[in-house]
Chain A
Amino acid sequence: MKPTPGGDAIGPLRRWARGHSNELGLLIAIAVVVGITTALSDAYREKPLQNAQEILRQTSLLGVFALGAAIVIISGGIDLSSGSVIAFSGSVCASIMLALAPVDEAGNPMTQNLGMGIFAVAIAGTLATGFLIGTLHAWLITVVGLPPFVATLASLVGLRSLARVFVQEVTASLTATGKTTQIYINDESFSRLGTTWWIPLGIFVALSFCAWVLMSRTVTGRHLYAMGGNEAAARLSGIRTDHLKWLAYCLGAMTASIAGILYMAEVGTANPQVQGRGYELNAIAAAVVGGCSLQGGVGLIPGTMLGVLFLRIVIDAVAKIVKVGADDYEGIIVGFLVVLAVAFNELRQARRGAGKQFFPGALGATAIVTLALGAGLLCAIMVGKNAGGGMFAVSLVGLGVVAFVQHRAAARRAAAPDSQLP
């Protein structure tokens, strides 16, 4: 490839825009979704401030550990354990508080008024737990030689189970009421950590800033990108890849521990059975929507922040528009957005969107039926049975027309050179 003349001459603004097209796209997408929601639902118009605060709080809770997931992904790994680390960390934090709380006459710990000292010890202990979990992952991956997927999958399954047993043991030995599956922390000032909108937001922004400095301004960050892009070359360049992995997985686990504290504080309960369940995939999804490549070596912290915000805004938009049972739709939205974001990026980068047939052959035909069934099912649930049937028929015909038009166009292109024959 030849250097384009004047390759350096493009303005700094345009160069910035070219390097951050993903972030700009997300900003536009966020604006569009907010606009649509404002048009369709009264909630944003009636209580804009309250809604904004709630979205930011939710974004921050997810964002804290999505940052860790992004760093692990950029460095070429994957951390599937964060949901269970959240549950385990919440349990550890609550257990430390319970152990240090003063006891009433009946022998039950009183958690209404714990004080800063106990908070500090509990939080420090939880972060240390995160550090140890990250260390375990790094050891399994670099020394034992397990693939990151397997090492963190083991934690995903194992830590939640361990947390449940642990909570039962702790409640059995520390409370007079005996064995339970949850630990309640009734301290109001502690619960503000998760419920007052600006506290999680402040933590998220501060952590994001640190992560951004680490990834884009330090030697270590550059080496993390290098390892994610080409691990063998990084090692042969004299980079201590083992140390970097230790760092990356510790950051992954410790950000999940922070999130675990916040989620536990939010509801005042350590409930390892349900807390953080499935969240690891939300964090990975947010990083991917934010532009991180699962191949490693690619992704930006600002992109990840916007990815989290976008995810939460779409979830909130659906909640506002559907109104009931919105929590149940979360998974559908996340799944849909991940596919959409990655497919969009692929098509944009490969510049082959133009001539591509989306529904070729038998696979395409079956995919059309699957998509139409999905759309019809969703419509039937949200609107009504008749509407669902209509949606199914419309999708089937619509996608069928798309497939037919693309097929015709491809056939015409293939035939074109022959028609020019002498």
Chain B
Amino acid sequence: MTAEPLIAIRRISKRYPGVLALADVTLDVARGELLAIVGENGAGKSTLMKILAGVITQYEGEIALGGCAVRFQSTRDAQRAGISIIHQELNLVEQLSASANIFLGRERRTRGGWLDQEAMDRTAGELLAQLECHIDPRQLVCELRVGDQQLIEIAKALSFETEILIMDEPTSALAESEAARLFRVIEQLRSRGVTVLYISHKMDEVFRLADRIAVLRDGRLVETVERQRTDARKVTHLMVGREIEETDLSKPRAPGATVLSVEHLWLPWPGHARMWRLEDISFSLARGEILGIAGLMGAGRTELLECLFGASADAPRGRIVLAGREVAFKHPADARRAGMALVTEDRKRLGLFAEMSVGANITLCTLAQSARLGLVSRRRENERAAGTVAQLNIRTAGLDAPVTSLSGGNQQKAIIGRWLLSQPKVLLLDDPTRGIDVGAKAELYRLMDGLCRAGLGIIVTSSELPELVALCDRILVLCEGRQTGEFLRADATEQRIMEAATMRRASAAVGQT
């Protein structure tokens, strides 16, 4: 590059107790470019971005912005310098309106010193409209969809007159249509001259958006490559430092007898205009089969799994037959006893016990089997946990290590291991690869394939269609609580699934015009 870089990052290191999160990273960002920053979980992407955005203030090294050295003491400093960050987990006050969130901390006032609600609502509405976000700025954030919430964060960043926008895995919670809108918004921002730093796991996004790609691994910058001169395979290779062997999941499986069948399942939605979260769902699952559930955000994937597991707030109607016996679970405990297992979507909130060790997290569901008269035998508990760690190849410093010290993929394996100890007949996996790095994903695919071949029936949901297409014997498509398609492996293409998943919305739109 001949021109002076907009951001010059010079020899940045960040040390946490026991871990070197960033080691001597030097990186230039040109004005107006979109630089994708990729790397496995724990590679240091987020740490680097948090330093840039003033979230982390203690570090070694220097940063220069347009030639001037800067050292931000807070996000406010960074915002003043034109840098905004949109975190993976959004920073919004759910009980306040969209416009109140956009102007939070910089509220407009009338001459008398009162809040100028009208001016804020008007400006917020204009900002949002520019971003194709057609919501009422007075609406409470908690009533909005994740995609709209994210655009509120972007609108907020724009209202700061941001020159540099950092986005940390912005599509991880978005449906595909919302992601497509986000990409259009990013293009629009770039045409206004905004420089974008984009963290992502997803190669297709990165190759669609980026000018250059910076690859981090174990806290070091491996390489910065021009998009045109590389391909996804090469970047993945740089990320993991090894060639990921294409996991071969195409060997035909031989599904056995039916283990679960669902007939005319309806799940009520009290107080909502749609009345039903799920409407008339019927399907069956065989031993040794992987059934995929596809659908956009809000299609009812999670609701369906929770309802099968006895975890939904309202009791469903319809027939659920598990291993030849009709069941109606009132509590997850019933479901577990009958041979169901659910690995939840939101690992941190609904799966992990952050205060507990790796071992305790693994044995939690089945502790009674390591106990006599209610007293836990530490030896037997440790044996069982160690067996799971070995079986699933969970990389941990030991059974006593805090579970939060594991990487996302290994945390997920620990939770799957927790459920495998209960020897389930049916394993429900709700978006198991969300927020997991590439290497760990492949490992999870192989694990699921192996479990399936050992005779387990698996139902898996995912927001990533290619994943489902590669993994599943059959794919069920949901759209707004309805079953809009079912495809065998041979017929399942991303195109056809997408059509089914958007079917109802399209027809509804036609109905309105």
Interface stretch, picked from B90-98, B110-118, B120-128, B397-405, is: B397-405
| Residues of A that sit less than 8 Å from B by CB | 1-4, 7-8, 15, 213, 217-220, 222-223, 225-226, 229-230, 232-240, 297-298, 351, 355, 414, 417-418, 420-421
Q: List 19 A-B contacts (CB under 8 A).
A: A1-B405, A3-B397, A3-B398, A3-B401, A7-B398, A219-B368, A222-B364, A225-B355, A230-B352, A232-B349, A232-B350, A233-B344, A237-B364, A238-B337, A238-B365, A239-B333, A414-B73, A417-B69, A417-B71
Q: Contacts A7-B401, A297-B355 given: A233-B368 contact, CB under 8 Å?
A: no
Q: Tell whether, in the assembled complex, residue B353 and residue A233 are in contact, meaning their CB atoms are under 8 Å apart.
A: yes
| B353 & A229 in contact (Cβ 8 Å cutoff) | yes
B residues within 8 A CB of A223? 364, 367
Which bracket fits the contact residues of B? 35 or more
Find out whether the CB atom of A236 lies under 8 angstroms from the CB atom of B376: no
With A233-B344, A233-B349 known as contacts, the answer to whether A218 contacts B376 (CB < 8 A) is yes
Given A8-B397, A219-B376, A235 contacting B17 (CB threshold 8 A): no
- Chain B residues near A (Cβ < 8 Å): 17-19, 42, 58, 62, 69, 71, 73, 309, 311, 331-333, 335-337, 342, 344, 349-356, 360, 364-365, 367-368, 371, 374-376, 395-398, 400-401, 405-407, 418
Q: Are A229 and B349 in contact (CB under 8 A)?
A: no
CB distance from A375 to the nearest CB of B (A): 32
Contact at A225–B356, with CB atoms within 8 Å? Answer: yes
Given the contacts A3-B395, A233-B352, A218 and B365 also touching, CB distance less than 8 Å: no
Query: Which of the residues B58, B356, B368 comes within 8 Å of A226, measured between beta carbons?
Result: B356
Query: Which residues of A are found within 8 Å of B344, using beta-carbon distances?
Result: 233, 236
CA distance A298 to B364 in the complex (A): 16
Known: A235-B311, A414-B73. A218 touches B374 (CB 8 A): yes
Q: How far is the CA of A217 from the CA of B406 in the complex (A)?
A: 25
The reply to whether A236 and B342 contact each other, CB–CB distance below 8 Å, is: yes
Of B331, B354, B376, which contacts A222 at CB under 8 A?
Answer: B376
Shortest distance between the CB of A413 and any CB in chain B (Å)? 9
Q: Is the pair B398, A8 in contact by a Cβ cutoff of 8 Å?
A: yes
Q: Are B353 and A297 in contact (CB under 8 A)?
A: yes
Report yes or no: A226 in contact with B364, Cβ–Cβ below 8 A.
yes
Do A298 and B355 contact each other (CB < 8 Å), given the known contacts A3-B395, A351-B17, A414-B73?
Answer: yes
Residue numbers in B under 8 Å from A418 (CB-CB): 69, 71
Q: Is the CB of A236 within 8 A of B350?
A: yes
A2 surroundings in chain B (CB, below 8 A): 19
Q: What are the nearest 8 A-B pairs in CB distance?
A: A238-B336, A3-B397, A7-B397, A238-B333, A297-B355, A417-B71, A229-B355, A238-B332
In the complex, besides A7-B397, A414-B73, 18 extra interface pairs with C-beta distance below 8 angstroms are: A1-B19, A1-B42, A1-B405, A3-B398, A218-B374, A219-B368, A219-B376, A226-B364, A229-B356, A232-B349, A233-B351, A233-B353, A238-B337, A239-B333, A239-B365, A298-B355, A355-B58, A418-B69
Distance (whole angstroms) from the CB of B382 to the closest CB of chain A: 12
B262 → chain A, closest Cβ, in Å? 20
Asked if B354 contacts A230 (CB within 8 A), the reply is yes
A-side contacts of B331, CB under 8 Å:
235, 238, 240
Which residues of B sit under 8 angstroms from A219, Cβ to Cβ? Answer: 367-368, 371, 374, 376
Given contacts A3-B396, A7-B401, A355-B58, contact A237 B365 (CB under 8 A): yes
What's the nearest-Cβ distance from chain B to residue A261, in Å? Answer: 27
Instruction: Please tell me if the beta carbons of A237 and B401 are within 8 angstroms of each other in the complex.
Output: no
Complex Cα gap A371–B84 (Å)? 39
Q: Which B residues are in CB contact (< 8 Å) with A220? A: 374
Q: Quick check: A222 and B401 within 8 Å, CB to CB? A: no
Chain A residues within 8 Å of B17, by CB: 351
Complex contacts, A237 vs chain B, CB 8 Å: 332, 336, 364-365, 418
* Docked complex Cα distance between A208 and B350 (Å): 32
B42–A236 contact, CB under 8 A?
no
Residues of A within 8 A of B356 (CB): 225-226, 229, 297
Closest CB in chain B relative to A115 CB, distance in Å: 36
